[in-house]
């Protein structure tokens, strides 16, 4: 990752190197913090950068803060404005990945404290996801997604990603590109940083939001695109692991993963082991909307630079 020049730290634009937190803060000691991964898509023809679904990401950040009882002194407008100021300060004119993070700070703060909260917004240039074209191999993890009554995955909390790390390390050791986790009921949950869809006999299916998944914004966007563009309603329900082996197509999706095809699970080819046609068409529609090459869903894009 190239180091950016600036980030927004507690509302101010500061040099990247100056954004610091004390090692004794609960954020460091216990991983108490929440965050959002957000993308900005650069449209070269229009010389414009579009932030994808900024409002929804900031709403989810506030929801995560509420569920962890973190003091929230920011309005949605403040948060959105912070993201735009960070981008403009760095003069990004390329596709970027951003992180907006609210952490529990202070050297005297107890684990059950609610403040002070430090808010930081950073971004850096990002290539398209590396598995977009050829797809990825996935392995079912022996690690289980934490359940809602232990460590709710609905909260996009820093500490949750330890579970993802274990699954990623295991997948890598097993020779797979990515992990898929099951939940405590043995049903399909999600990847460490992405939601999963399968397509069987033309029917898209995805785990429901009570399957111990993050309420993914990409998942919701893709269901809307599947309905509008392909006239396909997505089944949201408990999904069995064997339904992935039986699927014609499968993919993971997320802000970072975009729409990344899964070509095999546990060495079993998904469909014929090639990227599926509906997955490819959906990926194209999604990226066209995100980059602003399509005029569909203008409400999902926030233009960063004036004048277009
Ligand atoms: N699940 C997890 C655990 C994630 O970290 C992400 C990435 N934010 C997703 C799913 C996908 O969510 P979104 O589409 O909102 O990026």
Residue 44 binned pLDDT confidence (cut-offs 50, 70, 90): very high
Q: How far is CA 25 from the centre of its chain?
A: 26
**H helices then E strands: how many in the chain?**
7, 16
163 and 145 in contact (C-beta within 8 Å)? yes
Ligand 1 centroid from CA 216, angstroms = 5
Cα–Cα dist 196/262, whole Å: 9
Ligand 1 centroid from CA 228, angstroms = 23
Whether pLDDT at 227 is above 50:
yes
Residue 127 binned pLDDT confidence (cut-offs 50, 70, 90): confident
Q: For position 258, what pLDDT does the model report?
A: 97
46 and 297 in contact (C-beta within 8 Å)? no
Ligand 1 centroid from CA 181, angstroms = 13
Q: For position 1, what pLDDT does the model report?
A: 65
Tokens of 237: 């329900």
Q: Which long-range contacts (CB under 8 A, 24 or more apart) does 126-132 make?
A: 126/39, 126/95, 126/96, 126/97, 126/256, 127/95, 128/95, 128/258, 129/256, 129/257, 129/258, 129/260, 131/177, 131/178, 131/257, 131/260, 131/261, 132/258, 132/259, 132/260, 132/283
Tokens of 73: 């002194």
Ligand 1 centroid from CA 307, angstroms = 32
Indicate the pTM of the whole model.
0.97
List domains and CATH numbers for the chain: 6-125 (3.30.470.10), 131-291 (3.20.10.10)
Half-sphere exposure of 111 (CA within 13 A, CB side): 3
Q: Is the CB of 37 under 6 A from ligand 1?
A: yes
Tens digits of residue pLDDT in 81-93: 999 999 999 999 9
Which phi-psi region, left, alpha or beta, contains residue 212 (left: φ > 0; alpha: ψ -120 to 50)? left
174 and 143 in contact (C-beta within 8 Å)? no
Q: How far is CA 189 from the centre of its chain?
A: 15
Q: For position 308, what pLDDT does the model report?
A: 46
Q: Ligand 1, residue 219: give the atom nearest the CA.
A: 14
Q: Is the CB of 196 under 6 A from ligand 1?
A: no
Rg of the chain over CA atoms, in angstroms?
19
Residues constituting the chain: 308
Q: How far is CA 108 from the centre of its chain?
A: 32
């Amino acid at each position: 990752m190239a180091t950016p020049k600036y980030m927004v730290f507690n509302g101010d634009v500061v040099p990247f190197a100056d954004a610091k937190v004390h090692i004794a803060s609960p954020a460091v000691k216990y991983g108490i913090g929440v965050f959002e991964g957000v993308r900005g898509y650069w449209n070269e023809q229009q010389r414009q950068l579009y932030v994808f679904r900024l409002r929804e990401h900031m709403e989810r950040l506030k929801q995560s803060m509420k569920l962890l009882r973190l003091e929230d002194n920011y309005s949605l407008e403040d948060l959105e404005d912070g993201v735009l100021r960070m981008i403009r300060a760095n003069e990004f004119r390329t596709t970027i990945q951003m992180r907006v993070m609210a952490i529990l700070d202070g050297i005297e703060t107890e684990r059950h404290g609610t403040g002070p909260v430090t808010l930081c917004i950073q971004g850096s240039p990002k290539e398209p996801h590396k598995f977009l074209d050829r797809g990825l191999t996935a392995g079912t993890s022996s690690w289980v997604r934490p359940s809602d009554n232990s460590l709710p995955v609905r909260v996009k909390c820093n500490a949750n990603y330890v579970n993802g790390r274990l699954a990623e390390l295991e997948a890598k050791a097993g020779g797979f590109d990515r992990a898929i986790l099951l939940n405590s009921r043995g049903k399909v949950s999600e990847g460490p940083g992405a939601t999963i869809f399968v397509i069987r006999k033309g029917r898209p299916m995805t785990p429901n939001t009570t399957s111990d998944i993050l309420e993914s914004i990409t998942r919701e966007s893709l269901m809307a695109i599947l309905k509008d563009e392909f006239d396909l309603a997505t089944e949201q329900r408990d999904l069995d692991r064997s339904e992935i082996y039986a699927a014609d197509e499968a993919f993971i999706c997320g802000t970072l993963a975009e729409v990344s095809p899964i070509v095999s699970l546990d060495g079993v080819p998904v469909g014929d082991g090639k990227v599926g046609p509906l997955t490819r068409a959906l990926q194209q529609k999604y990226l066209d909307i995100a980059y602003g090459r399509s005029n569909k869903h203008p409400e999902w894009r926030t233009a960063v630079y004036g004048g277009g």
